[in-house]
């Protein structure tokens, strides 16, 4: 059942137009929404869908990141953390400045191995974390999805 779900969803995810495309990066000079900066906008059919990160004041919000390739939970966790780090750096933040992380596992049996790949990655003063498993509910065939809130 779970495998079936993943198989269907892999196809679905791939079919979202522009999901892997980085469209353009707006900034605070855009006077339509003063105060908000966004980076790495993902579009669908040329319409903005979501951003890779948003920045307001000294807070940074990073989008849910997954690993859309064949691999185990260790490889997926490492990849997701790298994707998060890229967004943080682009927004002027860093792993050490993350305040809160949300972790959505495909399967809770991956909890321990996820921890192994996760521990220490945010420095000596790690963010809070909330972890749940959604049993097939992570888009794009990823074994884990993570987002975060950080500061600059």
Show contacts with a copy of itself in window 2-41 (CB under 8 A): 5, 8-9, 12-13, 15-16, 26, 30, 32-33, 35-38, 41
Q: Is 74 in the site for a copy of itself (CB under 8 A)?
A: no
User: Do the beta carbons of residue 88 and residue 60 sit within 8 Å?
Assistant: yes
Q: Of residues 71, 90, 92, 96, which one binds a copy of itself by CB under 8 A?
A: 96
DSSP letters of 7-62? HHHHHHHHTSTTTT-------TT-TTSTTEEEES-EEETTEEEE-SEEEETTEEEE
User: Do the beta carbons of residue 39 and residue 90 sit within 8 Å?
Assistant: yes
Q: Is 100 in the site for a copy of itself (CB under 8 A)?
A: yes
Min separation Cβ 87 and a copy of itself, Å = 9
Count, residues near a copy of itself per rule CB under 8 A: 74
What does the alpha-carbon distance between residue 92 and residue 82 come to, in Å, rounded to a whole number?
15
Binding span for a copy of itself by CB under 8 A among 69-77, 78-86, 118-126: 118-126
């Amino acid at each position: 059942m779970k495998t079936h779900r993943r198989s269907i969803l892999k196809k679905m995810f791939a079919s979202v137009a522009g999901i892997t495309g980085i469209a353009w990066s707006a900034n605070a000079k855009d006077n339509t929404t003063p105060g908000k900066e966004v980076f790495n906008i993902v579009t669908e059919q040329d319409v903005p869908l979501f951003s890779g990160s948003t920045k307001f004041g000294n807070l940074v919000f990073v989008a849910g990141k997954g690993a859309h390739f064949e691999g185990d939970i260790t490889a997926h966790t490492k990849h997701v953390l790298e994707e998060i780090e890229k967004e943080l750096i682009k927004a002027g933040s860093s792993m050490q400045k993350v305040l809160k992380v949300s972790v959505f596992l495909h399967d809770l049996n991956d909890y321990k191995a996820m921890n192994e790949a996760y521990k220490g990655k945010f420095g000596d003063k790690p963010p809070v974390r909330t972890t749940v498993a959604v049993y097939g509910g992570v888009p794009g065939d990823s074994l884990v999805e993570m987002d975060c809130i950080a500061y600059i």
